[in-house]
Structures are given as C-alpha cells and as structure tokens.
Structure 1
Amino acid sequence: MGAGGSAKQARDRRFQAILPLRGKILNVERADDAALYKNNEISSLIVALGLGVQGGQDISGLRYGRVILLTDADVDGAHIRTLLLTFLFRFARELFVQGHVFVGMPPLYRLDVGKQSHYCYNDVELQQRLQGVSPGSFHIQRFKGLGEMMPEQLWSTTLDPSTRVLRRLTLGDAAQAAQLFSVLMGSQVAPRRQLIQEHAGRLDLDDLDI
C-alpha cells in the first residue's frame, strides 16, 4: 500500500489496520518457497493477515473480513497491485473464493466550483462535472499518488465505509492477473513474444490495470 503514513493517520483504529509495503514486493513468479518466506514484505503480509506459513485453502486464521489493496492510480501502482494479486492467488486463492479481496478506488481529481468540492474517480466523471460550469470559475487538483492527499481527504474518499468505492475481486480476476503476469514476467520468452505480437498496436493499457 502506498502513502502508509497518511493512511495510518486517516484510518479508524477501531476496525481498520494498515500494512504499508515499501516499494514493489517480490516477484513470486520466479521465486521458490524458501525465497518467498525469507522476503520481509511477503512474510509480514502473511503474518498480518493470519494466513499461516503453509497457505493453501485453509484461511480459518484470517484476521480481517476485507483485504483491501490500496495503491496509486498509475503504472507503478498497477504493477504493485498485480504483484499482490499474483501472490494472494498462488498462496491463498480461497481468499478470492470467499470474497475477501477488494481494490480501493481513490479519486483522481478534486474539483472545486465556488464553495463546493467534488471528487472524481476518472476523466469521464470529471468532464461530466464540468458540463455547464463557466470557464475560470473552477479549480482542478489531480492526485498523482495517495501521498498527495491529506489524511482527512484520504479518509473521506477512500477509507470511510460510508463513502469509499471498493471493487470486489473474483477468482477470475486473480487468475487473469496471475496468467498475464506469468507470461510477462516468467522465464519463457516465446509466450511473452506471442502476447506482444498479438496485441502490438492495439493494446489498451487499461487492460493491464487489473
């Protein structure tokens, strides 16, 4: 999760816990079990969630009802999210079967019109909000990352259960991410070349934002 400091300040300590991850986690596609458990970020995640050291289908020790992945809305954030999805899919896919895994959807923009503020989660929503607004009568702030948001903004837009936007991830979502990641980051060159050739010139980067 990015912006761990802001998220820790913004959360409600009564029912929310934050585990900041420093940078991108281990690429589990190329790691054996020994390397997996020696990795600090992975081992901290396993312990924090209560998954146990063996993983598998038994998630009876899970400590939280919802595991929410919260990353920046950019390419690096998408990569980190895919790494996390791939790990969870390979280590404890039952989390997806039982519907415990979510992606938090932080806003991309804050639109100020007069004394009113609106948070927009994509470009389409921003343009809809701007319809009928006089030029020069508004201000737009784009959030390049979660760290640019004040704790109160992060709470009201992304952490508050009454206002936040979550997307539940299915087993199919996780499998798709793991398959794509396996092709792009695995040791086999031929499948990766085939994927690039098939999608060259028409690949929508949004498709990679699992």
Structure 2
Amino acid sequence: VEKARIDKVLGHSEISALVTALGTSIGDEFNLAELRYGKIVIMTDADVDGSHIRTLLLTFFFRQLPKLIDAGHIWVAQPPLYKVTRGKHEEYVFNAKLLDAEILRLGTRDAVLADVAGGREFTANALNDLVEVLTGFEEHEHALAFKGLTLNEYLALRDGAGHLPLYQLRRGEDISYLADVAALDAALARGALPGPDGQAPILPEIIEFAEREPIEASIAALGRLGFAPEWLADAPGREPNFRLSDAKDERRLGSLLDILPAVKEFGSRGLDIQRYKGLGEMNPEQLWETTMDPTRRSMKRVTIIDAIEAERMFATLMGSDVGIRRDFI
C-alpha cells in the first residue's frame, strides 16, 4: 500500500475484491457516483493486531481512494475489548488503558488514604489526583524498563538541582550520564576507546531519555500534593507510612508506588471481566451485542486527519529509514 503501484495493489485478490465490491473502480477510472454503499465500515479486533490491520486499510483508502474519505463514506467500528460486570450492571470497555482507569475509579470511590508521617488523609478528588500522578509514574517505569533502568534507579541520577540526565553514554563497561547535548558532544569528542588486544575500537552507545521532561513534570505534580520523590520507593528499615482502607479492607503500604496495586485490588472486587476474542471467533450473539447492535455499537467516521495520521504511522513503520522507525517504536 505504501509503495506499490495500482497494478500491484490490484494484484492482491483481497484488494481487488474490495474495489469490485465498492463499484467505484480506482485510479484514473474512479467514479464516486458508482459507489454501491453509503457506509464502508472497517471492522477489526480491538487488540494490537486489529489496530495494525485498520492502519493498513486506512492507508489504502487514503492513498488510493481518498475521495471516499472526503465524502464521509469510510467508518471504523469500535468493538470493545472487555465487558465488565458488577452485579446486574454491565459496561463495555474499549481497551486495556480504559479498563485500568475504570478499576482505579472504582477502587478510589469509597477509599481513604492516610499519610501517617504527614498526618493527612486523601479522599475523593484528592485521592484521584494522587492516583493520576502515580499512574504517570507507572507509565514512566514501563518506558524506562526498555532502556535497562528502573524508575528509582533513574530518579537516583538527579543532580544537585534536581535535574535528570538526558543521555546515557556507554563505552564498553564505562557508563556516564549527561545532562544535555553540550555535555554529550564534549564526551563524544574523546572518540572511541581502543579495543583489547588490537581488536576493533569500542564505539560509544547513546541512549536518549525522552521521558526526562514528563518525569520531571510528574515530580513537580507530586510535590504539589506534598510528597518528595523519595516516597516513591520503600526505604530500608522504614515503617509502612501509608494506610489505604475502605469499608471492607485495609492495606499498610511502604511507598507511593505500592498504592496503585492496592487501589486496583479494591476496585476489582466483585468484578467479572470478560476479554472478548477476535471478531471472527465470536459467536453471533456476542458479535451482535458488542459490534452490530445499533443501540450499543460505537462507530467513528474517518476524517482526512485520521487517514493522514494512519498513513504517517504506516510510512514510518514500513519506510526505508531504520533510524526513524526505531525512534518511533
């Protein structure tokens, strides 16, 4: 789709069948008046694989049949990935992030967090504000894991002014952390280290911490709630400082990052969470209930902005520039 000519695109039987079904033809022979359907609905699974297939199809329409998008004929079905049931109440949730948000909302609804050292209690909106900040730190920790650091290891690298490093520079076993581009350039000016016993020189490896600014923003938000970042981790010998409780349970917690799992545990009580399989694996009743029923289904009309973003993602992932693709991933 990204690079192929029309003849090659139509060489794929699935694409050829799609164009035939639409009735508009393609390329110079395209005729919108011949379109056989008012809505062309892209239906894919709600997981990552489905997202990739949807991106591929949107790129095809953007590159080869853009007038269908301009005229408002392309739609995307949004099937849920989960059904959450508590008692007689059912709710459909479209992805894992929204599921986590719903569980956190339920977990904080009737909970009270006591900060023993600070002599404070967090309830309702204040507790939600804290949970939102801690969720950001959890996301930062996942991102840093791909770079070989834990959140607390990265936070320990703050300088005297509280600033985090932007780069990690590795030369063999030698690792240094640098605050900015100027410091990196100065370090790189030393060149490669000679390899042992006449082997090839050891070239420097650079990791950029794009997470620095978001993490520093999260630290500032945590400070506005009255906590230093040192409370994010357990300290040896320190008594558990936090107490999370509701009418049914109580937890003593040693660090701020221990709060999220406890809140999720509170919020998950009494929930039945069903993860839907792919659309093709659903039985007819499930497919109707989640995706086809006009009273329940969710559909989004594709705009040219949506298609441009899909095309950009596909061009990045399928393009020839390995560096750009690696940075995107």
What TM-score, normalized by structure 1, do the two folds share? 0.69
The reply on whether 1:177 has 2:310 as its aligned counterpart is: yes
Give the secondary-structure state (helix, strand or coil) at the position aligned to 2:33: coil
Q: Does the 8 A contact of 1:74 with 1:144 survive in 2?
A: no
The reply on whether 1:59 has 2:32 as its aligned counterpart is: yes
Which has the larger strand fraction?
A: 2
| Aligned amino acid, residue 108 of structure 1 | L
The 1:65/1:58 distance shift into structure 2, 3 A limit, reads same
Measure the CA separation in 2 of the matches of 1:118 and 1:166: 17
- The Cα of 1:89 is off from its aligned counterpart by 0.9
The 1:105/1:31 distance shift into structure 2, 3 A limit, reads same
Match of 1:160 among 277, 285, 293: 293
- The Cα of 1:170 is off from its aligned counterpart by 0.6
Aligned twin of 2:211: none
1:23-102 alignment runs, 5 A limit? 28-54=1-27, 58-102=31-75
Match of 1:117 among 79, 85, 90: 90
| Aligned amino acid, residue 127 of structure 1 | I
Q: Does the 8 A contact of 1:57 with 1:94 survive in 2?
A: no
RMSD: 2.6
| Aligned amino acid, residue 173 of structure 1 | D
**5+ long unaligned stretches in structure 2:** 110-265
Which digits, 9 at most, give the CA deviation of each residue in 1:115-172, with x for residues without a partner?
4432222343542774568865331111242244332222122112222111111112
- The Cα of 1:45 is off from its aligned counterpart by 0.6
The reply on whether 1:140 has 2:273 as its aligned counterpart is: yes
Give the secondary-structure state (helix, strand or coil) at the position aligned to 2:308: helix
Aligned twin of 1:6: none
Measure the CA separation in 2 of the matches of 1:175 and 1:136: 42
Measure the CA separation in 1 of the matches of 2:88 and 2:58: 40
The 1:56/1:79 distance shift into structure 2, 3 A limit, reads farther
Give the secondary-structure state (helix, strand or coil) at the position aligned to 1:30: coil
Measure the CA separation in 2 of the matches of 1:106 and 1:118: 13
Q: Does the 8 A contact of 2:46 with 2:94 survive in 1?
A: no
| Aligned amino acid, residue 142 of structure 1 | R
Q: Does the 8 A contact of 1:102 with 1:167 survive in 2?
A: yes
Aligned twin of 2:323: 193
| Aligned amino acid, residue 111 of structure 1 | V
Measure the CA separation in 1 of the matches of 2:304 and 2:273: 37
The reply on whether 1:108 has 2:81 as its aligned counterpart is: yes
The reply on whether 1:127 has 2:112 as its aligned counterpart is: no
Give the secondary-structure state (helix, strand or coil) at the position aligned to 2:58: helix
- The Cα of 1:111 is off from its aligned counterpart by 1.7
**5+ long unaligned stretches in structure 1:** 1-27, 204-210
Identity %: 44
Measure the CA separation in 2 of the matches of 1:155 and 1:128: 29
Q: Does the 8 A contact of 2:24 with 2:30 survive in 1?
A: no
Q: Does the 8 A contact of 1:103 with 1:167 survive in 2?
A: yes
